[in-house]
Amino acid sequence: MADPKISVPETAEKGGIIPIRTVIDHPMDSGHNYDRDGKLIPRRIINTFIVKYNGEEVFHANLRPAQASNPYYSFNIKATTSGPIDFAWIDDDGTVTTATRNITVV
Amino acid sequence: MNAVPSQTLMAPRPLNRRMFLLGAGGLVATVTLVPQFAKSDTIAFPNNSLSYIKTAMGEGAINQGRITLDLPVLAETGNSVPITFNAEAPMPDGTFVKRIMMFVPGNPEILGADYILNPLSGSNVSIGTRIRLARTQNVYAVAQYSDNSRWGTQFNVLVTYGACVEDIFAVENEEYLKRQEMRGLTVPDELRGYVVQEGK
């Protein structure tokens, strides 16, 4: 998995919305496709995407083979206090890719 | 009815063709109004999705409304179809969205996605992502609110070229070569530049 690309604003208004967008490179092999030799390409996807805000889990996505490759997500979080926003992508093979962004709530 | 001068309605006249058609039109309008009042406010989900809903959200009817899907009506390729889940939240009584599930009955696996939210993320719900669709189908979504009420919707997407067939035909596609490298596989040189002829 390559480095994820994350868009988080540097500051947010208290009580306002933090718009977050993330994308990560991954083939997301669904386990239903065949290669040119007719062999089944085994399933290998990112099965979980977790976002924590100040240590609290705010967004937990159980990804499925119906997820397109290079999973992209955009969602909103309500701004409460300044602190870290942690991202984690968990691969079928056990690899965990993590990233952190800090946000200042004014 | 406003277009008809009042005298014509007042005057005792034999039933001519125009009056008959006006009357018949009114009758049809009355009849077609009835099913709208009787329209169900619950939504039926595919049978094989019910076990997932039961496990995650419990049993009971699913109301129609509150959640909407933003999807293209026509998707040229099913490999990457943009989808946005929008839900009315928070409600006036402060309830938020606890969980959202998406079902794609036309795909090999019916459960398409499963999102667990909390008050911070479930109050302004607009989740955007991209999904695979194997064929033309109805995409279903159900949202569970914090008061355990369930609200669902569906959207029909016409898929011109479904997912699950891409790898065989996309050998010259750069994206495919990149993915093969990520899998640790290589593409034989003689296959590079291979183009599938139309009709074969």
- The CA distance from A90 to the nearest CA of chain B, in Å, is 15
Of A23, A11, A13, nearest to A99 (Cα)? A23
Taking the C-alpha atoms of residue B92 and residue B117, their distance in angstroms, rounded to an integer, is 18
> Does residue B29 lie within any of the structural domains?
no
> Does residue A65 lie within any of the structural domains?
yes
Taking the C-alpha atoms of residue A31 and residue A38, their distance in angstroms, rounded to an integer, is 13
> Does residue A38 lie within any of the structural domains?
no
Query: For position B13, what pLDDT does the model report?
Result: 57
Question: How far, in Å, are A40, A44, A78, B132, B187 from residue A68 at the CA level?
Answer: 18, 12, 27, 5, 22
Does residue B188 share a domain with residue B127? no
Report the CATH number that the domain containing residue A25 is assigned in CATH: 2.60.40.10
> Does residue B92 lie within any of the structural domains?
yes
> Does residue B198 lie within any of the structural domains?
yes
> Does residue A37 lie within any of the structural domains?
no
Torsion of CA A39, A45, A47, A50, to 10 degrees: 180
CB contact under 8 A, B127 and A69: no
| Domain membership of residue B170 as a residue range | 165-200
Q: Would an 8 Å CB–CB cutoff place B113 in contact with chain A? A: yes
Task: Report residue B119 CA to chain centroid gap.
Answer: 25
- 3 state SS of B66: coil
> Does residue A19 lie within any of the structural domains?
yes
Query: For position A100, what pLDDT does the model report?
Result: 95
Of B100, B119, B72, B121, nearest to A17 (Cα)? B121
> Does residue B14 lie within any of the structural domains?
no
> Does residue B6 lie within any of the structural domains?
no
Query: For position B163, what pLDDT does the model report?
Result: 72
pLDDT tens string B139-193 = 999 999 999 999 999 999 998 887 765 444 444 566 667 777 777 776 666 555 5
Query: For position B5, what pLDDT does the model report?
Result: 52
Q: Give the one of B133, B182, B191 whose C-beta lies nearest to A36's C-beta.
A: B191
Query: For position B1, what pLDDT does the model report?
Result: 47
Q: Would an 8 Å CB–CB cutoff place B83 in contact with chain A? A: no
Q: Which residues of chain B have a pLDDT value below 50?
A: 1, 8, 30-38, 166-171, 195-200
User: 3-state SS of chain A: helix, strand, coil percent to 5?
Assistant: 0, 55, 45
Query: For position B28, what pLDDT does the model report?
Result: 52
Does residue B175 share a domain with residue B99? no
Report the CATH number that the domain containing residue B68 is assigned in CATH: 2.60.40.2470
A50 pLDDT above the threshold of 60? yes
Query: For position B164, what pLDDT does the model report?
Result: 62
Taking the C-alpha atoms of residue A63 and residue A69, their distance in angstroms, rounded to an integer, is 11
How many domains does the structure of chain A reveal? 1
Does residue B198 share a domain with residue B117? no
> Does residue A16 lie within any of the structural domains?
yes
Does residue B88 share a domain with residue B174? no
How many domains does the structure of chain B reveal? 2
Place of tokens 């996505």: A61
Does residue B180 share a domain with residue B153? no
Residues of A in contact with B183 (CB under 8 A): 27, 29, 41, 44
- The CA distance from A17 to the nearest CA of chain B, in Å, is 8
| Domain membership of residue A91 as a residue range | 5-31+43-105
Query: What's the whole-number mean pLDDT along residues A86-91?
Result: 96
Does residue B96 share a domain with residue B51? yes
CB contact under 8 A, B116 and A44: no
Q: Give the one of B80, B121, B164 whose C-beta lies nearest to A58's C-beta.
A: B121
Query: For position B39, what pLDDT does the model report?
Result: 57
Query: For position B55, what pLDDT does the model report?
Result: 92
Tokens of A8: 């988080």
Query: For position A59, what pLDDT does the model report?
Result: 96
Does residue B87 share a domain with residue B73? yes
> Does residue A36 lie within any of the structural domains?
no
Taking the C-alpha atoms of residue A35 and residue B185, their distance in angstroms, rounded to an integer, is 10
Number of Cβ within a 10 Å radius of residue B78: 27
> Does residue A15 lie within any of the structural domains?
yes
What residues contact B59, with CB distance under 8 A and at least 6 apart? none
pLDDT tens string A4-30 = 999 999 999 999 999 999 999 999 998
- The CA distance from A10 to the nearest CA of chain B, in Å, is 18
